[in-house]
Amino acid sequence: MAASGKSAAGRSYRRSFMFKGVYTAIVTPFTKDNKIDEKVLRKLIDIQIENKISGIVPVGTTGESPTLSHEEHHRVIEIVIDQVKGRVPVIAGTGSNSTDEAIELTAHAKKAGASASLQVAPYYNKPTDEGFLRHFTAIADAVDLPMIVYNIPGRTGKNIENHVMLHLANHKNIVGVKEASGNIGQVMDLIQARPGDFCVLSGDDNLAYAMMALGAEGVVSVASNLIPAEMMKLVNLIFAGKWDEALLLHYSLLPLFKAIFIETNPIPIKAALAMKGLLQEIYRLPMCPMVQANREKLGRVLKEMGII
């Protein structure tokens, strides 16, 4: 593939998007008595920043947000922002299937000093297109903070169609989307039609290269919990137009991308971090430890790649 500084959509990677690069969807470590392990969380943040990560995304699904109380949710965001100390952006996961709850969580994140919020599509209640528009607009109107919409129909049960996303992209506070539909056709159409500097970030590690080749600005990554330097190298090679080198790196990392989703996220990534000695492998129900056969498969991949 010829080296180029532009995306397939003809947009330069040097455009001034608010968010681009690798944003780690950070796990939430727990202690043996099922409390937030603040000491370990702070250590994980420092490891990310030492490896020059673009930003941190706390209390997303990878951070087991559905099982955190509101007080714990607030506290994780506060810990991350305090430990980051302005060194990288913090995009706080503050979405909900209740609009009022999402507004409350987002208002707290802004007060705590978050750079932006990540707003997942309302799950289980499956809004109509109009419901999506009203939900995200209400949050963006209520809290003056940059918002990234999160489209992941595999978890939420409903896709945010492009015509809805493009309408939302006209709001001054809605600056991008974490796209995890897995629908490359949808991604291409969105990138081609998006206005201004509305950024598109891959929500899947294994599609980061492909989506960036089509014009996306980066990835919200699970793998970067474990390999932040390698994920940064991947996107930086793409930003530099070194496509062949980036493709080789993508395929070298692909076994890990697959292994960390051998069971429901964040079970495998927390298991991998525990295997590396970075945290205790503790989950909140209904998340639970991996079955032995999958644990062995994950361990083999980590050893073959020299991660453990």
DSSP state of 282: -
Given the residues 13, 23, 123, 150, the one annotated as active site: 150
Residues, the chain? 308
For residue range 225-269, list pLDDT tens digits in order: 999 999 999 999 999 999 999 999 999 999 999 999 999 999 999
Distance between CA 152 and CA 165 in Å, rounded? 13
Do 269 and 64 form a contact (C-beta atoms < 8 A)?
Answer: no
pLDDT band at residue 10 using 50, 70 and 90 as cut-offs:
very low
Do 212 and 7 form a contact (C-beta atoms < 8 A)?
Answer: yes
Q: Spell out where 108-259 has E strands.
A: 116-120, 147-151, 174-179, 199-202, 218-221
Active site residue 150: yes
Can you give the residue ranges of every domain in the chain?
Answer: 21-241
Active site residue 178: yes
For residue range 45-73, list pLDDT tens digits in order: 999 999 999 999 999 999 999 999 999 99
21-241 has CATH 3.20.20.70 classification: yes
Given the residues 178, 209, 233, 270, the one annotated as active site: 178
Which residues make Cβ contacts (< 8 Å) with residue 284, sequence separation at least 6?
A: 30, 34, 64, 67, 68
pLDDT band at residue 18 using 50, 70 and 90 as cut-offs:
confident
For residue range 169-222, list pLDDT tens digits in order: 999 999 999 999 999 999 999 999 998 889 999 999 999 999 999 999 999 999
Q: Please say whether the dihedral angle defined by the alpha carbons of residues 243, 152, 269 and 88, taken in this order, is positive or negative.
A: positive
Element of type H or E holding 129: helix 129-142
> Which amino acid appears at position 99 of this protein?
T
pLDDT at 34 exceeding the cut of 80 = yes
Average pLDDT over residues 22-36: 97
